[in-house]
Amino acid sequence: MPNKINGLDRTVAKSPDVSAVSRARQAAYGDAGARAQASTAGIQITEGARQLAALEATIRKLPQVDEARVARIRKAIEDGSYTIDADATATKLMVFEHDLESLTRSAAAQD
């Protein structure tokens, strides 16, 4: 049984013919449209963008979990030296709840 959601099926959408798009742009905008298309072909990436991409690649290689911290906490729990500051935990929960409520109100006000 094919999956259909709001009349959609599994057929692949066809991409527009690039030459047809170019002809339509030429007809609509004249030479300015053709020049705009030609100018985007020579896009250059700035040094800042290159550095950002390198930083992003480095961050992706880092583990998402700090294994050393997990090991320290696990050891502290096992030997009974791990303590929980109930007041600090409660305060952080209340601050989080307040921030969440403020965020929800501002999102509702924008609607």
Instruction: Note the pLDDT of residue 9.
Output: 55
- Spatial CB neighbours of 76, under 8 Å, sequence gap ≥ 6: 82
Q: Is 25 exposed, middle or buried (0-12, 13-18, 19+ CB in 10 A)?
A: middle
Other Cβ atoms closer than 10 A to 71: 10
Whole-structure pTM value:
0.35
Give yes or no for residue 18 having a pLDDT over 90.
no
Instruction: Note the pLDDT of residue 94.
Output: 97
Give yes or no for residue 7 having a pLDDT over 70.
no
CA distance 78 to 72: 10
Give yes or no for residue 105 having a pLDDT over 80.
yes
CA atoms within 13 A on the CB side of 19: 0
pLDDT band at residue 106 under the 50/70/90 scheme: confident
